[in-house]
Amino acid sequence: MKSWSALRGFLHPHRVKNQSSSKPNYLFTWNSLPRRVISTHRSSIQEILQNTASSQNSPNVTLTGWIRSLRKHKNFVFLQLSDGSISNHIQVVCNAHVYDDCEAKYGSSVLVEGKLISSPSSNHDVEVEAGKIHVLGDCDPHLYPFKARRKHTLDYVRDYLHLRPRTNYFSAVLRMRNALSMAIHEYFQNNGYCFIHTPILTPSDCEGAGEVFLVDSVASNNQSKLETVKHKNFFNQNTYLTVSGQLHLEAICGSFRRCYSFGPTYRAEKSTGKLHLAEFYMVEAEIAFLDNGLDGLMTILQSLIKSTFKQLQDKHITDMNFFFNQMPEKYRKMLENMIDIDFQKISYTDAINLLIKYNEKFTFPIRWGDDLKKEHEKFLVSYFENTPVFVCDFPLEIKPFYARVNEDGQTVAAVDLLVPEIGELVGGSMREERLPILEKRLKELSLDKQYSWYLDLRRFGNTKHGGFGLGFERYMQYLFNISSIKDTIPFPRYYGNCKV
């Protein structure tokens, strides 16, 4: 074992003592570093598998990853290696003596040096013939909670949030979460929207539901009790974790024609259901000069849903196929057909009249003025042959204060987009731009003082505008047929659970 001083000299650039000074003055040069240390690029498994022809022209490869399966034969050992870059693994073949020199185990991280060769297996085009395997991080398969050649349930895997990215299923979820995030950003950027970071701390409850997390400071150990009492409220007012960035986006929309945000939001709903999280991500957008009202808003929404899904199909087909192969054929066809059809549209009043005819089927019979429950939303989607459905013009009393009042004085220009298996995916509305009406509404709710700044947006250079919020995790559930929303996000937070 080399001494620490020798190792330190190896890890750092060559140091030359400045002889003209009495104090050490080290100059850094790279000349003495081993070439292998300077050159850190190694091919990812995705690069190797997607560029097979060029990879075989220069067959020597060095790759790193984790062993996902291991099969020993008399003279050969077969390893399946993954590095998270793609859902497919690459097969590594080595002589028994090469394996005996390293004793890599299932779950270990390794560096493999070898040659890329054509594979005789029908399951692989190429494989790596290993000349040397270096174990970088050992793994005890007896203690490792995920066992080789065993399919673990998602409920079981969820007990190991810190380790579940290592499973095939959840690594695919994370890649597609990344891909879908980028597709959404690309859609907005290509259509002239400005990306805005809206605050996480806010004094308002945008939705008016009251299901918020109150934020306050906690004294550190070295603060006196007297100081804690003196600074009882950090912000000198009630402050919450945001439930929506909409109101702040509306402020931005006073000078930008189109803007959007994509960030965490919080709801203190005491639910452990498959569609609810306490912390989740919302895609929100506001559009100024929206003269064609709800129809224009619904056109934008349909375009966003279709274009982002199509981008996943075009650019990430390997991971899309991973999920397609696990979902019923009927569900897959329904998703693929969604790109080519127009979404259905029905008014809230017509939807209620339809639902009333089937009230005996529902756990919660419905009447005009009630908000739609999940069973009603799913019924409407099913009624329209599993096509996404816009439900519009809701009763004024069940929508937030900012929704634009229709001419009938009883409904507002609000819309929900319902999709198969999920129900509500998007909520949006035209925003009330008429100052007298908005002022009256806020006074009725005793919110006029709290939202005086919001009224200013109508006083100075107002426009007819609208916007929407899309639940990102629910969108993932819809596109990848994921049963529980807890399996769409790396570290889910929900009622009674905030692990890791």
Residue-wise pLDDT for 261-272, tens only, equals: 999 999 999 999
As a whole number of angstroms, the distance between CA 432 and CA 97 comes to 75
**What letter would DSSP give residue 353?**
H
Q: Smallest Cα–Cα separation from 116: which of 78, 65, 64, 59?
A: 59
Same domain, 389 and 302: yes
As a whole number of angstroms, the distance between CA 471 and CA 277 comes to 11
Q: What is the pLDDT of residues 302-356, one digit of tens each?
A: 999 999 999 999 999 999 999 999 999 999 999 999 999 999 999 999 999 999 9
Q: Which residue has the higher pLDDT, 6 or 268?
A: 268
Q: Smallest Cα–Cα separation from 87: which of 119, 46, 131?
A: 46
Same domain, 470 and 339: yes
Across 65-77, average pLDDT:
93
- Check residue 224 and give its pLDDT: 57
Domain assignment of residue 37, yes or no: no
In the numeric block, the tokens 């959404």 are attached to: 184
Cβ atoms 93, 78 nearer than 8 A: yes
Same domain, 396 and 455: yes
Domain assignment of residue 211, yes or no: yes
Domain assignment of residue 289, yes or no: yes
pLDDT grade for 237, boundaries at 50, 70 and 90 = confident
Q: What is the pLDDT of residues 77-102, one digit of tens each?
A: 999 999 999 999 999 999 999 998 88
As a whole number of angstroms, the distance between CA 459 and CA 436 comes to 10
Same domain, 198 and 141: no
Q: Smallest Cα–Cα separation from 138: which of 158, 108, 110, 160?
A: 108
pLDDT grade for 206, boundaries at 50, 70 and 90 = low
Domain assignment of residue 222, yes or no: no
CA contacts within 13 A on the Cβ side of 36: 3
CA dihedral 180, 83, 170, 213 (to 10 degrees): -70
pLDDT grade for 157, boundaries at 50, 70 and 90 = very high
Across 54-59, average pLDDT:
62
Highest mean pLDDT among 56-70, 145-159, 221-235: 145-159
Domain assignment of residue 381, yes or no: yes
The model's pTM is 0.88
Same domain, 69 and 190: no
Q: Smallest Cα–Cα separation from 283: which of 204, 171, 205, 182?
A: 182
Residue 12: pLDDT above 70?
A: no
- Check residue 116 and give its pLDDT: 93
Residue 175: pLDDT above 60?
A: yes
Residue 1: pLDDT above 80?
A: no
Same domain, 50 and 192: no
Q: Smallest Cα–Cα separation from 34: which of 15, 16, 17, 10?
A: 10
In the chain, how many domains are there?
A: 2
Q: What is the CATH number of the domain that holds 275?
A: 3.30.930.10
- Check residue 210 and give its pLDDT: 63
- Check residue 486 and give its pLDDT: 97
Same domain, 262 and 343: yes
Return the biggest CA–CA distance within the chain: 96
Q: Which residue has the higher pLDDT, 17 or 334?
A: 334
N-terminal to C-terminal alpha carbon distance within the chain: 36
Domain assignment of residue 273, yes or no: yes
Q: What is the CATH number of the domain that holds 95?
A: 2.40.50.140
Across 120-140, average pLDDT:
91
| Dihedrals phi, psi of 482, to nearest 5 degrees | -95, 120
In the numeric block, the tokens 């375009």 are attached to: 303
**What letter would DSSP give residue 352?**
H
Q: How many of the other CB atoms lie within 10 Å of CB of 327?
A: 14
pLDDT grade for 280, boundaries at 50, 70 and 90 = very high
Same domain, 138 and 201: no
What percent of the chain is predicted at pLDDT more than 90?
A: 77
Same domain, 183 and 139: no
Across 448-455, average pLDDT:
93
Domain assignment of residue 207, yes or no: yes
Residue 300: pLDDT above 70?
A: yes
Residue 489: pLDDT above 80?
A: yes
Same domain, 267 and 339: yes
- Check residue 51 and give its pLDDT: 79
| Domain coverage including residue 107 | 45-146
Same domain, 141 and 177: no
Cβ atoms 165, 490 nearer than 8 A: yes
Strands of 201-202's sheet in order across: 201-202, 239-241, 214-215
Across 459-473, average pLDDT:
97
pLDDT grade for 222, boundaries at 50, 70 and 90 = low
Residue 245: pLDDT above 90?
A: yes
Domain assignment of residue 326, yes or no: yes
Residue 232: pLDDT above 90?
A: no
Alpha helices in 231-345 (DSSP H): 246-252, 293-315, 317-324, 329-338
Q: How many of the other CB atoms lie within 10 Å of CB of 48?
A: 21
Cβ atoms 121, 139 nearer than 8 A: no
Same domain, 175 and 135: no
What is the DSSP annotation of 319-351?
HHHHHHTTS-HHHHHHHHHHTTSPPEEEEHHHH
